[in-house]
Structure 1
Amino acid sequence: MSELLAFQDAFVAALGGDVDALSAWCAKDSSPVGLAVYRNTIAKGCVDALAENFPTVRALTSEEWFSGAALLFSRESPPSHAALQDYGADFPSWLTSFPPAAELPYLAGVAHLDRLWLEALFAAEAPHLEATALSGLSPETLASARLWPHPSLRFAAFDAGLPGLWLAARAGDEALELSEAPQAVMLVRRSGVVATRLMQDGEAEFLRAVRDGETLGQAAQRAAKTQPDAPLEILFAALIASGVFSGLDLEPHA
Structure 2
Amino acid sequence: MPELLDFQDAFVAAIGGQRAALSPWLDEGEHPGLAVYRNTIAKGCVDALAANFPTVQSMVGEDWFRAAAALFAREAPPTGAALLDYGADFPAWLERFPPAAELPYLAGIAHLDRLWTEALFGAEASALEPVALSRLAPEALAETRLALHPSVRFAAFDAGLPSLWRAARDGAEDLELSETPETLLLVRQGQAVASRVVGAAETAFLRACREGLTAAEAAQAAATADPDAPFASLFAALIADGVFAGSP
Take 2:245 and 2:16, find their aligned partners in 1: how far apart are those partners?
43
1:65-144 pair list within 5 angstroms:
65-144=64-143
Q: More displaced, 227-236 or 78-87?
A: 227-236
Take 1:224 and 1:15, find their aligned partners in 2: how far apart are those partners?
54
> Structure 2 regions of 5+ residues with no counterpart?
none
- Secondary structure of 1:188's partner? strand
Identity of aligned residues (%): 65
| 2:55 corresponding residue in structure 1 | 56
**Partner amino acid, structure 2, of 1:8:** Q
- Tell me the alpha carbon deviations over residues 103-162 of structure 1, each in whole angstroms, 9 at most, x when there is no partner: 100000000000000000000000000111111322111111110100000011100000
Distance 1:217 1:17, change over 3 A: same
Number of aligned residue pairs: give it: 248
Tell me, yes or no, if the aligned pair for 1:53 and 1:115 is still in contact at 8 Å: yes
**Partner amino acid, structure 1, of 2:92:** S
| 1:25 corresponding residue in structure 2 | 25
| 1:161 paired to 2:138 | no
**Partner amino acid, structure 1, of 2:66:** S
In the TM superposition, residue 31 of structure 1 has moved relative to its aligned partner by 4.5
| 1:3 corresponding residue in structure 2 | 3
Tell me, yes or no, if the aligned pair for 1:19 and 1:32 is still in contact at 8 Å: no
Q: More displaced, 61-70 or 78-87?
A: 61-70
TM-score (normalised: structure 1): 0.94
In the TM superposition, residue 232 of structure 1 has moved relative to its aligned partner by 1.1
**Partner amino acid, structure 1, of 2:18:** D
Tell me, yes or no, if the aligned pair for 2:129 and 2:247 is still in contact at 8 Å: no
**Partner amino acid, structure 2, of 1:14:** A
Tell me, yes or no, if the aligned pair for 2:125 and 2:246 is still in contact at 8 Å: no
**Partner amino acid, structure 1, of 2:68:** A
In the TM superposition, residue 33 of structure 1 has moved relative to its aligned partner by 3.2
Q: More displaced, 137-146 or 217-226?
A: 137-146
Take 1:32 and 1:136, find their aligned partners in 2: how far apart are those partners?
69
Distance 1:199 1:30, change over 3 A: closer
| 2:190 corresponding residue in structure 1 | 191
Q: More displaced, 1-10 or 176-185?
A: 1-10
In the TM superposition, residue 30 of structure 1 has moved relative to its aligned partner by 6.1
| 1:38 paired to 2:33 | no
In the TM superposition, residue 12 of structure 1 has moved relative to its aligned partner by 1.8
In the TM superposition, residue 7 of structure 1 has moved relative to its aligned partner by 1.6
- Tell me the alpha carbon deviations over residues 225-247 of structure 1, each in whole angstroms, 9 at most, x when there is no partner: 11000111111111111100013
Take 1:189 and 1:53, find their aligned partners in 2: how far apart are those partners?
16
Runs of 4+ in 1 over 4 A off after TM superposition: none
TM-score (normalised: structure 2): 0.96
Tell me, yes or no, if the aligned pair for 2:149 and 2:245 is still in contact at 8 Å: yes
Tell me, yes or no, if the aligned pair for 1:188 and 1:244 is still in contact at 8 Å: yes
Take 2:31 and 2:20, find their aligned partners in 1: how far apart are those partners?
9
- Secondary structure of 2:24's partner? helix
Take 1:9 and 1:136, find their aligned partners in 2: how far apart are those partners?
56
**Partner amino acid, structure 2, of 1:228:** P
Take 1:126 and 1:30, find their aligned partners in 2: how far apart are those partners?
52
- Tell me the alpha carbon deviations over residues 157-201 of structure 1, each in whole angstroms, 9 at most, x when there is no partner: 100000000000011111111001101110000111111000021
Take 1:138 and 1:183, find their aligned partners in 2: how far apart are those partners?
34
